[in-house]
Amino acid sequence: MPTGERVKVDSSDVRSYYSHGSTVISRKLIRFRIGELLVMPHR
């Protein structure tokens, strides 16, 4: 079994997984920040 191909596939999978996770986390953070701004009283 060629290890080079496996490494390539694994690296691409990890990259896509990390990119997906980062987008989900950023969405949650943005939503949380918007909620904070809406809840906080404007001075």
Cβ neighbours of residue 16 under 8 Å, at least 6 residues apart?
A: none
Q: What is the pLDDT of residues 1-43, one digit of tens each?
A: 556 566 566 778 888 888 888 888 899 999 999 888 888 766 6
- The angle at the Cα of 17, spanning 13 to 19, to the nearest 5 degrees, equals 120
Amino acid at 9: V
Q: What is the pLDDT of residue 31?
A: 92
Q: What is the pLDDT of residue 37?
A: 85
Domains: count for the chain: 1
End-to-end CA distance of the chain: 65
DSSP state of 40: S
Q: What is the pLDDT of residue 27?
A: 92
Q: Which residues span the domain enclosing 36?
A: 5-41
Smallest CA-to-CA distance from 27 within 19, 16, 15 is with 19
Q: Does pTM top 0.85 for this prediction?
A: no
